[in-house]
Amino acid sequence: MLPEMLLSWWLLFSPFVPQATAPEKPVNVILVIGDGMGLAQIALAEYLYKPPSPLSRMDVVGLQKTHSASHLETDSGAAGTAMSCGVKTFNAAIGVDADSVPVKSILELASEHGMKTGLVVTSSIVHATPASFYAHVTSRGSYEEIALQLVSANVDVFVGGGEKYFFDRHSDHDNLVKTLERKQYEIVRLDDPRGRVKLEGVRKEKRIACFTALEDPIRATMGRSYLPYMAPEAVHALEKRADKGYFLMVEASQVDWAAHANDREWLALEMQDAYSMMENLLELVNEDENTLLIITADHECSYMSLKGKKSPKVEFNTKVHSSQMVPVFAHGPGAEQFAGIYENTAIFDKIKMLLGI
Ligand SMILES: [Zn+2]
């Protein structure tokens, strides 16, 4: 018995015994999704962007597997739902599992725990990726139903297009913009998508609905430039309102659309726009030790590759999504949790664990 007792005493006091350390916990989480932003799209931006790029300054890199429950090539609904709700579902589903049963999202959990929540996108706010954070429908095209669900989701700050789904409705003829106003939303309109709008003047008792277009916002090639500015505006608006932290999802929505269209110029400008947004967010979180920044994609689009001798030449190989893994970059408290290779559903699991919700 004696040698065993000695061994256990030695284990107890030895400085060499590895200690399991609890992960550092963030108070706030910002999740950036580049829709369709695979490694080739990122590589293009890395060649175009003057170093050091925001992604090259992130603490940790991992890879996520993007397949859905129904297809190797996921769509944005199933991939968004995997990251927002932690379940694999069928393509076109939003916030429901493979049996069409609604599943609570990380944004809804955050809200239930007293955190403030936000969404900033360059699509309509009812489009698949943002919708997967607050809506529960079996078909991503049910825009009027998704708008109705956004009104009752109580997202504290949202920025995106698609205002027409709130007032020009065929299913019920309701005016949901008026309903938002009754629910203490300040309606802010970005009349010129080349411009900017300040949110700091809105009283903190109010929620903010910032509409950037009646339908989808215009392309970066047509002058849309609000994302790099409105993402930090949303951060400041959430900071002002939050006393238990916040969860913000920001989407560079049109990287995917440019790849679907096989349009090189459009893709390059969308990536530059996304990089400017990432740069601004990285600068903010570098001044704040409580915020975890995660940057990833929902899937790759077009099996894109780069060719050439000096300057990169983009080659699109399809007009649809691919099944490639996509990178996950993380920076700030808890970032180390995002190293390795894992399923897209693990994004939800890791954020939930880190926020303790
Ligand atoms: Zn797509």
Examine residue 254 and state whether it is found in any structural domain, yes or no: no
* pLDDT at residue 7 in the model: 54
Examine residue 93 and state whether it is found in any structural domain, yes or no: yes
User: Could you read off the pLDDT of 75-132 as tens digits, one per residue?
Assistant: 999 999 999 999 999 999 999 999 999 999 999 999 999 999 999 999 999 999 999 9
Residues 6+ apart with CB under 8 A from 139: 92, 93, 94
Examine residue 236 and state whether it is found in any structural domain, yes or no: yes
What is the band of 336 on the pLDDT scale with cuts at 50, 70, 90?
Answer: very high
Q: Mean pLDDT over residues 130-140, rounded?
A: 98
What is the band of 194 on the pLDDT scale with cuts at 50, 70, 90?
Answer: confident
Q: What is the CATH number of the domain that holds 118?
A: 3.40.720.10
* pLDDT at residue 1 in the model: 47
311 Cα–ligand 1 center, Å: 26
Q: Is the pTM of this model over 0.85?
A: yes
Q: Within a 10 A sphere around the Cβ of 277, how many other Cβ atoms?
A: 26
User: Could you read off the pLDDT of 6-31 as tens digits, one per residue?
Assistant: 555 555 555 555 555 667 899 999 99
Alpha helices in the chain (DSSP H): 2-13, 39-48, 76-85, 106-112, 128-131, 143-153, 164-167, 176-182, 227-241, 254-260, 264-286, 345-355
The domain of 319 spans: 26-249+261-355
- Please tell me the total count of domains within the chain: 1
Say how far apart CA 125 and CA 217 lie, in whole Å.
10
* pLDDT at residue 12 in the model: 55
Examine residue 12 and state whether it is found in any structural domain, yes or no: no
122 Cα–ligand 1 center, Å: 14
Please spell the DSSP secondary structure of 55-79, one letter per residue.
GGG-SEEEEEE---SS-SS--HHHH
302 Cα–ligand 1 center, Å: 9
End-to-end CA distance of the chain: 45
Examine residue 46 and state whether it is found in any structural domain, yes or no: yes
94 Cα–ligand 1 center, Å: 15
Q: Which active-site residues does the annotation give?
A: 76
Examine residue 16 and state whether it is found in any structural domain, yes or no: no
Examine residue 256 and state whether it is found in any structural domain, yes or no: no
Report the percent of the chain where pLDDT is more than 70: 94
Examine residue 64 and state whether it is found in any structural domain, yes or no: yes
Q: For residue 262, what are the β-bridge partners?
A: none
182 Cα–ligand 1 center, Å: 35
